[in-house]
Structure 1
Amino acid sequence: MRVNYNIVTMTNWLPDLANFPGPRYRAIADALAADISSNRLLVGARLPTHRDLAYHLKVTVGTVTRAYAEAERRGLIGGEVGRGTYVKAGTPASAMDQWPQLPPPPGDIPAVVDLSLCTPSSAGVAEALATMFASMSNPADFRGLLEYPPHGGLPAHRAAGAEWLSRHQLSVGPENVLVTSGAQNGMAISISTVARPGDLILTERLTYFGMKALTSTLGLRLEGVAMDEDGLLPDAFEAACRQSAPRALYTVPTLHNPTTAVMPLERRLRIIEIARQYDVTIIEDDVFGFLMPDAPPPIQTLAPDITLHISSMSKSIAPGLRIGYLVAPSRLMPRLEGTMRALNYAVPPLMSELASRWIEDGSADRFADAQRRECRIRHAMAQDILRDCPVIAVPSVGQHLWLKLPEPWRREDFVSETRQRGIMLTGADVFMVGRGAAPHAVRVGISMPQRRDDVRHGLEVIAELLMNPVGASLSVV
């Protein structure tokens, strides 16, 4: 069927590639998307021939051919043999780089500002998703995605995962990568493979509550190990290994959840040494690692033979994508794939395909860059608003803050008082492992609200309560 374009003669388009890094073909496609977004190119505009554009850009004709194919895959252009290539439509490139500042709700102050979770912005994701699906107009694009896939994922999807991880300090082959339904699924697969009901799993004294729920469901024992501002304490870890014979250590060494601690290299090496001595498998949760490119190397790169490395696109792109990657030593791969079959058979190939295409065309990198930029802006905002408060705020580049409350505040009173004022926080008790006393601290998720003004309002309420602790003695009877 012939597509009717509102044709505008346009044969001299020449993109400026200076602001578009990466392979030349991708830079040309990105520049095309940007010029469509800025209305420099209108729907129906005819693009230069492959040969003409290659001549003016000083690239090969093959590069332009690949660039046009990439742009067509994104749904930006189309055309017919003998009539040329035309602008069709597309997602503005800038949409993926902009954090949406939504109109305020009725009234000057939002009813509720939820700072209780670590959820990234979805800026531009829906638009990119629509464009991606629009570009998959050929039934052949879907046929291979409708069959039962291999338990660890289709080879192309595992290769894309390996490519994505290579951009975040890991160098692994596709044969050591499994596609998972997010980090929680990766945790479940890892724990279920290396431990059996009744076994002991070690973790930091404060840990991600998803691990607490998982070990409880699987009938495993969970023991918290002492930590400081740099994360897990090696001496405490060694003492626990010597006394309790644990099967695995679950740790978040980079931007720890909830404390934001970043484990130094020397400590990582010591933890590895102890794990080897006592035959303990390390399960490394690195979902926040992409936010800190200059962090010490992941434990997996230092001890690949004893480490299961978990990552996810839930923090860098969108939680609903539910795509993660589990890196494991070769000796464990058959067992891990068997566990995957028992738990969820395999990850839906359609979502894996989507993630893979975003990795290949650079969209995933742009989403991650947008998250990093916005986190820096929001941390600067927090440091400014809380600068005069008698509170310890661990500075970082992550999606949350860890606030140690000053006297006379108690965590339950502070969470209750902020809730009454429409601000939702998470108290330290949610993350505490064991029956010991949790510190008087709260986690503040600064990435979840879509509007910066809402984050600012929430932080201002927190600052006001810290400076004027009117409800700090609510628990005193």
Structure 2
Amino acid sequence: MAKAKYLEIADAIIHQIDIGHYHEGHKLPAHRALAEEYSTTAVTVAKAYSYLAEQGHIESFVGRGSFVKSRSTLKQAIQSQLVEDEWNFSILQPCLGSAMEQIHNAMSQCFREALKPELFGYIENTGCSAHKQAGMKWLQQSSGLQIRSAEHVLLTNGAQHALSTLIELYSKPGDSIAVEAQTYPGILSIINMLGRTAVGVELDEQGMSPSHLQAVCAQHQPSLVVIVPSHQNPTTRTLSLERRKAIASVIQRHHTWLVEDDIYSFLNTEVIAPITNFIPEKSFYISSLSKAISPGLRTGFVKAPQSQVDKLAAHIRSMVWLASPMTFEVAAQLISSGVAFELAKDQKKIAEQRQVIARTILEGERLESQYNSFHIWLTLPEHVNTDEFVNTAKERGMFLSNGRFFCYNESYSQSIRLSLMSIPDQTHFEIGLRHLKTLLDQYQSSI
């Protein structure tokens, strides 16, 4: 059955929005003008506009017209759809292949071997003790975190839930939150939605600058400092042990909390002590299985200072009561059996292979990465407009993350973030990279 005319028009407008031809705030054509273009009636166009408004794409005002509605920065920077004839280089996740079978086996085993009443009811203290024990094992072995008791571990629905919980609880509307000058859009989205203000801390070749953090703390007195110390998103930089100690020293001198989001620590060649180890009484440490195994498990672990465990647990209980015990049962099974660590090693190996492929295909381009990072921070030639390049790539089926979405103040960036892991099939991945290289060469030859 043919699609209704108004839906065809709506789909065409959505496409124009997606590729950037209709930008945020753009005024759409009048009903009669668009009706002529599509050989239909103004009534049909009005129906299309009404549908687009219901779906949240546009907003209409009597006497003024219809305009493209503002869209989530996070949604623009990170797109999760996987379409066979497209290449999604925008989302950082594990390369899901053989891991899915092992996760499925762990799920089957968990719910086949024993019926545990605690998995189906309410649990005090934000989760089962066995799940916290598994979390402690993951934190210790994947990152070298020093932790004396599993009671210091709280369970969340992934790292993003942990971040939003900590920002909401340990700051108030209007407060400053110090972040890396280029950082993960999910952090910025939380800060903006909760009415806080992000303050950028400059990065050097190692990562966050201790001297600039000192200046930011002195001037803005941030409630929290959020940092990604390993394979930083988007720059891929990893803080050395000396740099981590320097950051800890700055935090120690100021009335602020550290939130150490270390979800990529499993990629480090050698264990590097977390910043939290040096200031355990002033730091919250976050990890999860989302990058190492699967984001679908939604299993996050927070190591809290002993003085804050009860306060944080009470807040989690008030907001969501507890993270799903069923998914944590699967996570605990994977961790205790050692499968989780093997899967993490497999992802690290795939990342190493794809970095080699990417560096070979993109030879001559200005890019920054570590040899086992999940992504690349690619700087475009100076004459290339990043917004235009990203939109053109999207028209050709390549989804890239515009660097400006990683800037704490959304300033223009000459860079893009390129994920190497979200395309499962390696041949399809290589084809996508070659298409990207062709586009880069075309822009370079247009000088």
Q: TM class, shorter-chain normalised?
A: 0.7 to 0.9
Corresponding residue for residue 278 of structure 1:
254
Corresponding residue for residue 154 of structure 1:
128
Which whole-Å CA distance do the structure 1 matches of 2:269 and 2:315 have between them? 32
Corresponding residue for residue 113 of structure 1:
87
Which whole-Å CA distance do the structure 2 matches of 1:132 and 1:455 have between them? 29
**In 1, are the aligned partners of 2:362 and 2:437 still within 8 Å (CA)?**
yes
Residue type of the alignment partner of 1:245: Q
Per the normalisation by structure 1, the TM-score is 0.73
Residue type of the alignment partner of 2:250: I
Moved more, 268-277 or 121-130: 121-130
**In 1, are the aligned partners of 2:236 and 2:368 still within 8 Å (CA)?**
no
Corresponding residue for residue 67 of structure 1:
none
Which whole-Å CA distance do the structure 2 matches of 1:267 and 1:135 have between them? 43
Instruction: Say if 2:361 is the partner of 1:395.
Output: no
From 274, 298, 301, the counterpart of 2:277: 301
**In 2, are the aligned partners of 1:116 and 1:425 still within 8 Å (CA)?**
yes
Task: Tell me the SS of whatever aligns to 2:383.
Answer: coil
Residue type of the alignment partner of 2:316: M
From 280, 301, 306, the counterpart of 1:330: 306
**In 1, are the aligned partners of 2:361 and 2:434 still within 8 Å (CA)?**
yes
Which whole-Å CA distance do the structure 2 matches of 1:144 and 1:314 have between them? 24
Residue type of the alignment partner of 2:109: S
Which whole-Å CA distance do the structure 2 matches of 1:200 and 1:419 have between them? 35
**In 2, are the aligned partners of 1:227 and 1:233 still within 8 Å (CA)?**
yes
Q: How does 1:149-188 map to 2 (within 5 A)?
A: 149-168=123-142, 169-172=144-147, 173-188=149-164
Instruction: Say if 2:406 is the partner of 1:434.
Output: no
Residues 424-445 of structure 1, C-alpha deviations (whole Å, 9 max, x = no match): 100111111125x332000000
Corresponding residue for residue 242 of structure 1:
218
**What is the Cα deviation at residue 420 of structure 1?**
2.1
Which whole-Å CA distance do the structure 1 matches of 2:250 and 2:368 have between them? 31
From 264, 284, 289, the counterpart of 1:288: 264
Which whole-Å CA distance do the structure 1 matches of 2:325 and 2:388 have between them? 46
Corresponding residue for residue 426 of structure 2:
452
Moved more, 248-257 or 400-409: 400-409
Which whole-Å CA distance do the structure 2 matches of 1:394 and 1:362 have between them? 29
**In 1, are the aligned partners of 2:369 and 2:375 still within 8 Å (CA)?**
no
The structure whose Rg is larger is 1
Task: Tell me the SS of whatever aligns to 2:172.
Answer: coil
Aligned residues: 363
**What is the Cα deviation at residue 138 of structure 1?**
5.8
Which whole-Å CA distance do the structure 2 matches of 1:131 and 1:266 have between them? 42
Which whole-Å CA distance do the structure 2 matches of 1:342 and 1:192 have between them? 13
**What is the Cα deviation at residue 124 of structure 1?**
2.9
Q: How does 1:288-437 map to 2 (within 5 A)?
A: 288-294=264-270, 296-387=272-363, 389-434=364-409, 437=411
Residue type of the alignment partner of 1:465: L
Task: Tell me the SS of whatever aligns to 1:232.
Answer: coil
Which whole-Å CA distance do the structure 2 matches of 1:257 and 1:277 have between them? 26
Provide closer, same or farther for how the CA distance between residues 363 and 472 of structure 1 changes in structure 2, counting only shifts above 3 A.
Answer: farther
Provide closer, same or farther for how the CA distance between residues 227 and 138 of structure 1 changes in structure 2, counting only shifts above 3 A.
Answer: closer
Instruction: Say if 2:170 is the partner of 1:194.
Output: yes
**What is the Cα deviation at residue 136 of structure 1?**
4.3
**In 1, are the aligned partners of 2:231 and 2:370 still within 8 Å (CA)?**
no
From 240, 255, 259, the counterpart of 2:235: 259
Residue type of the alignment partner of 1:225: V
Residue type of the alignment partner of 2:179: T
**In 1, are the aligned partners of 2:237 and 2:370 still within 8 Å (CA)?**
no
What is the aligned-residue identity percentage? 29
**In 2, are the aligned partners of 1:119 and 1:319 still within 8 Å (CA)?**
yes
Corresponding residue for residue 45 of structure 1:
none
Residue type of the alignment partner of 2:378: L
Task: Tell me the SS of whatever aligns to 2:301.
Answer: strand
For structure 1, list consecutive stretches of 5 or more residues without a partner in the other structure.
Answer: 1-104
**In 2, are the aligned partners of 1:418 and 1:425 still within 8 Å (CA)?**
yes
Which whole-Å CA distance do the structure 2 matches of 1:472 and 1:256 have between them? 33
Which whole-Å CA distance do the structure 2 matches of 1:136 and 1:258 have between them? 36
Residue type of the alignment partner of 1:348: S
Task: Tell me the SS of whatever aligns to 2:216.
Answer: helix
**In 1, are the aligned partners of 2:381 and 2:444 still within 8 Å (CA)?**
no
Instruction: Say if 2:223 is the partner of 1:223.
Output: no
Corresponding residue for residue 209 of structure 1:
185
**What is the Cα deviation at residue 181 of structure 1?**
0.7
Which structure: greater helix fraction? 2
**In 1, are the aligned partners of 2:349 and 2:372 still within 8 Å (CA)?**
no
**What is the Cα deviation at residue 394 of structure 1?**
2.7
**What is the Cα deviation at residue 232 of structure 1?**
1.1
Task: Tell me the SS of whatever aligns to 1:444.
Answer: strand
Moved more, 205-214 or 409-418: 409-418
Which whole-Å CA distance do the structure 2 matches of 1:166 and 1:282 have between them? 19
**In 2, are the aligned partners of 1:413 and 1:472 still within 8 Å (CA)?**
no
Task: Tell me the SS of whatever aligns to 2:344.
Answer: helix
**In 2, are the aligned partners of 1:262 and 1:295 still within 8 Å (CA)?**
no
Residue type of the alignment partner of 1:414: F
Moved more, 271-280 or 458-467: 458-467
CA RMSD, 1 decimal: 1.9
Which whole-Å CA distance do the structure 2 matches of 1:372 and 1:325 have between them? 21
Corresponding residue for residue 50 of structure 1:
none
Residues 439-460 of structure 1, C-alpha deviations (whole Å, 9 max, x = no match): 2000000000001112212221
Residues 113-140 of structure 1, C-alpha deviations (whole Å, 9 max, x = no match): 0101001122234433443344346685
Provide closer, same or farther for how the CA distance between residues 305 and 443 of structure 1 changes in structure 2, counting only shifts above 3 A.
Answer: same
Per the normalisation by structure 2, the TM-score is 0.77
**In 1, are the aligned partners of 2:110 and 2:333 still within 8 Å (CA)?**
no
Which whole-Å CA distance do the structure 1 matches of 2:231 and 2:295 have between them? 18
Residue type of the alignment partner of 1:397: N
Task: Tell me the SS of whatever aligns to 1:305.
Answer: helix
